[in-house]
Amino acid sequence: MLSSTFLSLSLFFLTSIATPAKRYDLDGNGVPDLCTTNSDGTASCLLSDGSLTTFKTSTTIPAPRATVTLPDPATFKKDNGTKWSIKYVGNLAFTGTLQAKGLGGDKCRSSKLGNKVIWSCGDMECKGGFTSSGCGFSMGPAFYGTSSVLTVNTTGISLVQSNDFAVPFSGDPKPVAPQSAFGMDTSNVAAINATHGVAYAFEIWRGASDGSFVNRGNAVVSVTLGNERPIATRVGPLLTGPNTIQLGLLAILRDGDFVYTYSIGGPSGIIVGRVAASDQVFSASAYSFLVAGSTSTWKTPGSIPAASSTTFGMTTTNSGGKFSCGAYGSVFFNTYLGKYVIICTAFENFTNMYVSATPFGPWSAEYGLLNGWGIGYGSMAHPEFSTDGGKTFHFSQGPDGPFNMFEVSFNF
């Protein structure tokens, strides 16, 4: 619960502010805090526990600095097991009835809003399927976390759909036969301020006996912290028709004054967009996209680009200039590396990492993290749980059942 003192402080600080010039990681989890620079030479940052701290920027706490330099990808591969390591540490667990019934699904992403970790998942049901397991089905439920990266708090929840998150809008046209149901593929959450976040969903019609589906378009939701669960409130009709990028479904990231959206498409395989971290996020015409081949030219096309766009895209020095990412992944700033990191999985077999000095590239070539584990869908990083400045972080992979959790440790 946020105390009213905290709320009024945050209302004061988080609205009356200029651009944060520096990043701070006061709680040491390796992820920059949500901070604002105040006009009196102080900055205010929201810590992991939801408390707000204010300090003089001229003195005290330094911004996080890179402590290491990554070698090239070939050397990195040789260093596996010595200078860095990866290990499977178990499956993501849920609490209460849903754990007892074997809740699983396709993917669970984690995000931080205020003092809460939000887990937003995809196509979740219990062992035995939605007809016989007795815990129902949800195309996209969201839950609060616990203090452990390995445990989601589902205490008191008996039907998984009681925690539906981004759902179709009453005004969205209903599925037409042979399709009979909606699908809402949902992004992670990016904080706009201490109390509100944003998430994106791509809506489809599905449920046909032949497995066919129909793309409908992108939706945007406002996210708030309900007492029992995170709440997603749809804002407006679909932002787009069916042929655009799936906005933010690779991942989204709050950084500085912007929300960055990473979407599959364009010449390199990823299109990055950005929009002011404000009510602007709800307006398709407010989004800018990085021009393909450029490192810093943004254009505001007035609408969300087509997936086949050749105009927009990020750059990687990977061979052929292409990222090898499947549909989903994660993007976050890692304090230990002093770099932005993309984690994603190619062909459901190879989990890779790319690094960059900015949230929009240019990105490195790919660094292999995990090879041949078997089917991996995602990979969803959970950096908000790190306790050592990002030297160690976790990611999980579905699909279709339990989520395998991996721990990556750097020791350069």
Ligand X SMILES: *[C@@H]1O[C@H](CO)[C@@H](O)[C@H](O)[C@H]1NC(C)=O
In DSSP terms, 367 is beta-bridged to 353
Give yes or no for residue 97 binding ligand X (CB under 6 A). Answer: no
- 3-class secondary structure, 98: helix
For ligand X, give the closer residue by CB, 137 or 406. Answer: 406
Instruction: For the chain, give the longest Cα–Cα distance.
Output: 65
Task: Give the burial class of 275: count Cβ atoms within 10 A of its Cβ; 0-12 exposed, 13-18 middle, 19 or more buried.
Answer: buried
**CA gap 135, 137 in Å, rounded:** 7
| 409 binds ligand X per the rule CB under 6 A | no
Please tell me the distance from the alpha carbon of residue 181 to that of residue 123, in angstroms, as a whole number.
Answer: 13
The first and second tokens of residue 313, run together, are 């895209």
Asked if 331 is part of the footprint of ligand X (rule: CB under 6 A), the reply reads no
Residues 47-86 as x/- pattern, contact with ligand X by CB under 6 A: ------------------------------x--xx----x
Stretch that binds ligand X, among 9-17, 33-41, 43-51, 292-300 (CB under 6 A): 9-17
- 156 exposed, middle or buried (CB, 10 Å; 0-12, 13-18, 19+)? exposed
Residue 15 lies near ligand X (rule: CB under 6 A): yes
**Closer Cβ to ligand X, 221 or 314, answer by number:** 221
Among 113, 314, 370, 408, contact with ligand X (rule: CB under 6 A): 370
Among 350, 335, 347, 345, CA closest to 383: 335
Number of amino acids touching ligand X (CB under 6 A):
25
Question: How far apart are CB 172 and ligand X at their closest, in Å?
Answer: 21
Segment interacting with ligand X (CB under 6 A) among 52-60, 187-195, 260-268, 354-362 = 187-195
Q: Which of 24, 214, 244, 223 is nearest to 109 (CA)?
A: 223
Q: How far is the CB of 241 from ligand X (least distance, A)?
A: 25
Show Cβ contacts of residue 31 under 8 Å, excluding neighbours closer than 6 positions.
25, 112, 332, 333, 334, 335, 383, 384, 386, 390
Helix (H, G, I), strand (E, B) or coil at 291: strand
Query: Which of 349, 358, 401, 402: binder of ligand X (CB under 6 A)?
Result: 349
Phi, psi values for residue 57, rounded to 5°:
-70, -25
Tell me: does residue 1 bind ligand X (CB under 6 A).
no
Binding range to ligand X, per CB under 6 A, among 8-16, 20-28, 266-274, 299-307: 8-16
Q: Using CB under 6 A as the criterion, what x/- string covers residues 142-161 for binding ligand X?
A: ----x------x-xx-----
By C-beta, is 114 or 267 nearer to ligand X?
114
Contacting residue, 31, 192, 271, 343, with ligand X by CB under 6 A: 192
- The residues of the shown chain that bind ligand X, judged by CB under 6 A, are 11, 14-15, 77, 80-81, 86, 95, 146, 153, 155-156, 192-193, 195-196, 222, 279, 347, 349, 368-371, 374
